[in-house]
Structure 1
């Protein structure tokens, strides 16, 4: 199979015009692939840009054994995995802890504290109300650092089943946590 990057000629500005055309062909598929895995649109767009950059840097490694879009989705998957590793490596930021640290008046923020506690309680109750299979999938996903493939392997179920169970669980938890509360 011919390497699509071989046809890329640098323009006077140094940026290859053909790469722009090539990326337009795969942009929708790659964008959807990333946005299904990264809920924050800004982070997803950053990963999309990094994917193009990494594909361009690694163009000599493209062997043509897979389609270009499959190869780029593989690059995107690695970047997504790294994104979540960095995200989970950071300490969890909690506004409540910060408010206590800065010595804010507790009486002034009782309403806010109450709402946070209500959301937490609703989330915990909602997790306990999930069907057993969905709850087990959720817990296993958390234990495997959110990897769909690892979760599927541990539970010995298809990866599509993992994705659908987690998607339904997320929706139920969102409704239970934010239902009737201001965001």
Structure 2
């Protein structure tokens, strides 16, 4: 499903001229952006085409405040996120072999599992209570594999702002998750 922009414009009608502004380098950057996040090439190509379609559908919302490639990377990021949400929303079917369970020491790892679950719950709760901009930057960083530059590009903010927000978020999360919890 590798359709060039010109062919896509003919398919959907009303030529999206603003999309033709994307240079070959910008198109390659968008393709790499998606393929870096979605390892299945077919899914990545589908998301790339959906990105072009969403950009065309929402062309009137493109204000020009960000570059066209940054705007389209934002669209792609949302589509990648939705792709994984749908993927992980499907229940995983696995069979449980009871013969492997019998004879195992049941309580051996319960304390450890409880502690891991408690810390995870504290961390997720702390993330939910971060200031909105800091939380948005943290999520964008996670989705861009921790790349400061990619995060800055997606959010259309300076790289120094990304570093500052992530540093403050890390410090806050360390402080909140490493303090003892009193019932």
TM bucket (normalised to shorter chain) is 0.3 to 0.5
The TM-score normalised by the length of structure 2 is 0.45
The TM-score normalised by the length of structure 1 is 0.45
Q: Point out which structure has higher relative CO (alpha carbons under 8 A, 6+ apart).
A: 2
